[in-house]
Copies of this chain bind each other. A is one copy, B any other.
Amino acid sequence: MFPKNAWYVACMPDEVADKPLGRQICGEPMVFYRNAEGAVVALEDFCPHRGAPLSLGFVREGTLVCGYHGLEMGCQGKATGMPGQRVNGFPSIRSYPVIERYGFVWVWPGDAAQADAAKLHHLEWAESAEWAYGGGLYHIGCDYRLMIDNLMDLTHETYVHANSIGQKEIDEAAPKTVAEGDAVRTSRFMENVAAPPFWQMALRGNGLADDVPVDRWQVCHFTPPSHVLIEVGVAHAGHGGYHAPADKKASSIVVDFITPETETSIWYFWGMARNFRPDDAALTASIREGQGKIFSEDLQMLERQQQNLLRWPERNLLKLNIDAGGVMSRRVIDRLVAQERGQTGVPQAEATRVIPVRTAT
């Protein structure tokens, strides 16, 4: 269950270079390639001739050619040629709106008529020369909402990432969650704590002492359909924390674009944007490597959690204060899915899966 009328990250630009890329997005097998102008095109990965995947074909001067019998497919999903054939009567395949922006290729798996580039939120860090970005891609066997839960409740850092970004003060600082329209924000502030290893590294990378008390913050922003951007940072204690001047802090934005592949698997585009030493490529690589290791620690937990939920579909999970970010994000998702289905409420079949509010805290 996912909104289909939305922009999802499909791939990174360098994944679509000379050869077509086959990738399933929101249950739709798609092929991505670049046309003669270099623009990325997304089509159903199905040749109307004999059903071969077009992603096994090749690109000839910007035209996608089926690798089985040479059908040439146009950017709109209409065959444009085939050796010895008149293709006018061939059935079309779907084409999907695509935008290449902010260092990602975005696809709209739903109703193309509703696709609008203006609906893609602005990402300041992706366009400014004052910021640097590094990231990667993981394939994980879980419902995309489990990953949203994960990212909107960072108390898991203390357990899953105990040796890098976790610290007991995360548990001790209650988060605050607010919803504004379709956006959800969960904030946590910790004052006068020791910086954990990852942040010591970041402080050093920013030319700051790493052995003094710091104020630390985590502000998680969910926006539909499944994007979580997290402002994170530490400042030398007593200088204003989140609002401290640039020469007293190390901060960055954890970038999480979660694209459903199927109901129980995702393409997880993770990364970090920082606004200090943006030209230091070695630092970018170092942070990327560290983050990649940390984020890989979540994979087994998410996949095994998914398996447990599939085995016990009738069990209700708890909704504690720390879970409020995920819970509110799911409500936004439920509402959007219901809207797509032309209904005013969540459809019955899905409603049985909705987690009841508990008052355990």
Q: Which A residues are closer than 8 A to B by beta carbons?
A: 29, 45-46, 48-53, 56-57, 65-70, 82-91, 149, 153, 155-156, 158-160, 168, 171-172, 174, 300-301, 304-305, 307-309, 311-312, 315-318, 320-323, 358-361
Contact = CB atoms under 8 A, between A and B. Distances in A.
Given A50-B318, A171-B70, A315-B51, A83 B309 contact: no
12 contacts: A46-B315, A48-B317, A50-B149, A50-B305, A50-B317, A51-B309, A67-B160, A84-B155, A84-B172, A89-B359, A90-B318, A91-B316
Nearest to A358: B89
Given A50-B305, A51-B309, A53-B304, 5 more contacts: A52-B301, A68-B156, A70-B159, A84-B172, A84-B174
B308 A29 contact: yes
A175 B143 CA distance: 50
Contact of A360 (B50, B68, B85, B168): B85
B86 A49 contact: no
A73 to B, nearest CB: 13
Contact of A318 (B45, B48, B317, B322): B48
A262 B219 CA distance: 44
Contacts of A304: 52-53, 56
Q: Interface majority SS on A: helix, strand, loop or mixed?
A: loop
B149 A361 contact: no
Given A69-B159, A358-B89, A360-B89, A323 B50 contact: yes
Copy count, this protein chain: 3
Contact of A68 (B91, B301, B312): B301
Contacts of A50: 149, 305, 317-318, 323
A45 B308 contact: yes
A149 B52 CA distance: 12
B318 A172 contact: no
Contacts of A90: 318, 360
Contacts of A56: 300-301, 304
Contacts of A149: 50
Contacts of A361: 84-86
A315 to B, nearest CB: 7
Nearest to A57: B159
Most buried by B among A48, A84, A89, A315: A84
B51 A171 contact: no
Contact of A317 (B49, B53, B171, B172): B49
A78 B153 CA distance: 23
Contacts of A89: 358-360
A160 B317 CA distance: 50
A46 B307 CA distance: 11
